Structures are given as C-alpha cells and as structure tokens.
Amino acid sequence: MKEALTDFRKLALRRGSSTIQTGLGKIKVADSFLSRLIGLLNRASLEEDEGLLIVPCASIHTLAMRFTIDLVFIDKKNKVLGVDESVPPNRFRVAPKGTCAVLELADGNVSQTGIHLDDRLIFD
C-alpha cells in the first residue's frame, strides 16, 4: 500500500512582523481520506518535534488513541482560529467556524511553542 502521508515539514509562527521558529521539524500532512481516517491511531506517542496536519478537517476524534494531544485549528490562510490543549483519548472536538485544517501536536507543545490565537503558521 502506498504511504498515505506526505513528507515532513518544519513549522514556524508569524506574529505581527516577527517570525518565530518553533523547533517542530517533523510535521506530516494527512491529506487523503485514508491518512485522515487513520491519523495518529497507529502511534503509541508523538515525539516533541512531531505533529500531524490534517487537511481538510472540520472535527477530530481521539477514539482508540493511547495518548493526550494538543490541537491547533487553522483557516485557509494558516491563521490560528483556536487551540485545545491536553485532549485525552476518547474525545470528540468540533473545529471553530472557518477551520480548514487541524494540527495535532504532542501534549504540551502549544504552550511550549507559544502558539496563540491569530498567529499565522508557516509550514516549510
């Protein structure tokens, strides 16, 4: 079976006129039906520098997951519309209106990287 996820990308933040490096260097993109469906279900954990960008995405679930994650909801211009930290397994989350993608990160990474509402994410 063909690998469902695209190559790694790095993540930076744009806040005003400043660009802030997050230290997250392993962001995979789930942009097919299968890769979005599977998401992180086959993982035992996420490393601190990893994440999964689910595109398109209007809601997520953590059913059958084995670890807690942080969520970042972004619009079509990569503007942060919302964050949800420390989401445990077996939960549902509906994205804020206008969300086009959800970035799933290791628990604590939203705080650690300083991601805030209205930041613009830069995937390199």
Give yes or no for a cis peptide into 56 (omega within 30° of 0): yes
Q: Which residues of the chain fall short of a pLDDT of 50?
A: 1-5
Separation CA 14–CA 108 (nearest Å): 20
Q: Which of 101, 94, 100, 112 is nearest to 46 (CA)?
A: 112
Tell me which CATH homologous superfamily contains domain 9-123.
Protein of unknown function DUF192 (2.60.120.1140)
pLDDT for 100 equals 96
pLDDT for 7 equals 64
Domain spans in the chain, listed from the N-terminal domain onward: 9-123
Give this prediction's pTM: 0.89
Separation CA 44–CA 24 (nearest Å): 19
Per-residue pLDDT tens for 90-112? 999 999 999 999 999 999 999 99
pLDDT for 83 equals 97
